[in-house]
Structure 1
Amino acid sequence: MVEIPTRICLVRHGETEWNAARRIQGQIDIGLNAAGQAQARAAGRCLRTAGIVALYSSDLQRAWATAQAIGAALGLVPQSSPALRERCYGVFEGLTYDEAKQRHPAGYAAFEGRNADYDFENGESLRALFARVTGKLAEIAAAHPGSNVVVVVHGGVLDIVNRFVRGNPLEMPRDFLIPNAGINWISTVNGRWTVETWGETAHLADAALDELPS
């Protein structure tokens, strides 16, 4: 008997002013700018024919507003989850990447070097984020066997998901894009995960930002 895969479409939230300024948002609750709102609507239009049965989202407003726009296009009500929030960047939150490097040089070196245990002085380490994100991903997949689901998340969350699905270490430099409102399809069957497509932006009118460090 052939197993039908469970397919999850992960969408990064639309653009914010802090994305454009390369300012670290983390769990600070920043809303979409006008470009981000248009991107969210475009993602919804793109997914209309994808056979989506459920829609999940981080409860931070930049993701939630993106999910609401997608839900309006698909006729679905988003389900919010704090477990899908962006990584907590502790003392880095609210700073630009350049400011964080200047003010916290040792911490920034650990961050840039992808030290999996570094937690931004009471923020969240990569290991902790990995446990949170993969636990929720498995829960969503188990709830919708053989179906297609959309999950709206953040750049740091997508970084974790890509590594988890491909079996790559947390410490490895990033070799994939994470554009605002990019569409990323993964699937799972019998406990095996696969990346189907990643970083799709053909649905967007203009180029999308990937302002995240590698």
Structure 2
Amino acid sequence: MDTRKQAQNPHHCRICLVRHGETLWNAERRLQGHLDVPLNEVGLVQAEATARSLAEHRFAAIYASDLTRALQTAAPTARACRLEARPTPALRERHYGAFQGLTYAEAADRYPDAYHRFKAREPEFSFPGGGESLLVFAARIGSVLTDLAGRHRGEQILVVTHGGVLDIAHRLASRLPLEAPRDFPILNAALNWLDYDGEDWHLLAWAEQHHLESARDELPNA
């Protein structure tokens, strides 16, 4: 899909969604949530590769989660496109409560009942320690993406965010229920393209990784 040449419908917004580059905690399969973990060396290389891949695309704006790993991923593309990445707290990852900072194995060992409900994708389950339910998280992400698309009708924007956010975005476009197991990849620094027509989301392309030597998908429900 050549988004550089494809004209925009004046009522539509096209969004390129990018999961942040790799972090040490991704490699360790450790839940990050709202904890502020920077990119590792692989992630920094991925961010530069993403910038080279997107340098010739025309973006009206760049938005990023305000967590360091997303801002670091957005920074090279923002420089290449001569734009400023706008920190947007509503684009943060799901809040995992007491699971944050634990590996998936540690979370399963310490909170077996809660982990079972997490793996089962129960929409109303909230993590112990103040975490978000899928229903609350999905409402937050649906609202911020729809708001950004409404601001940029007839334009194309870049959104740099987190794996859980991409999960919700794909489900919005594919109509896959929150509780259904994930059947699509969510790769660090890959390109994912959606279109919003003012009423519905449409999936244009997903998990483009031609610019990457490798990309990790360590998330559950893969």
Please give the range of the TM-score, normalised by the shorter of the 2 chains. Answer: over 0.9
Aligned length: 212
Q: Does 1:161 align with 2:169?
A: yes
Given candidates 119, 132, 147, the residue that maps to 1:112 is 119
Tell me the TM-score normalized by structure 1.
Answer: 0.97
Q: Does 1:181 align with 2:179?
A: no
Contact 2:13/2:156 (8 A) holds in 1:
yes
Query: How much does 1:190 deviate?
Result: 3.6
AA partner of residue 72 (structure 1):
R
Query: How much does 1:18 deviate?
Result: 0.2
Residues 152-193 of structure 1: CA deviation (Å, up to 9, x unaligned)? 000011111111111111000001000000110000114121
- After TM superposition, the structure 1 = structure 2 runs for residues 86-101 of structure 1, keeping only pairs within 5 Å, are 86-101=93-108
AA partner of residue 182 (structure 1):
A
- After TM superposition, the structure 1 = structure 2 runs for residues 128-139 of structure 1, keeping only pairs within 5 Å, are 128-139=136-147
Residues 105-146 of structure 1: CA deviation (Å, up to 9, x unaligned)? 000000000011111112001000011101000110011111
Unmatched tracts of structure 1, length 5 or more: none
Tell me the TM-score normalized by structure 2.
Answer: 0.93
Unmatched tracts of structure 2, length 5 or more: 1-7
SS at match of 2:202: strand
Q: Which segments of structure 1 move beyond 3 Å, counting only runs of 4 or more?
A: none
Q: Does 1:208 align with 2:215?
A: yes
What is the distance in 2 between the residues matched to 1:118 and 1:160? 16
Given candidates 154, 168, 191, the residue that maps to 1:146 is 154
Name 2:32's counterpart in structure 1.
25
Q: Does 1:6 align with 2:9?
A: no
Name 1:197's counterpart in structure 2.
205
AA partner of residue 87 (structure 2):
S
Q: Does 1:48 align with 2:55?
A: yes
Query: How much does 1:3 deviate?
Result: 4.0
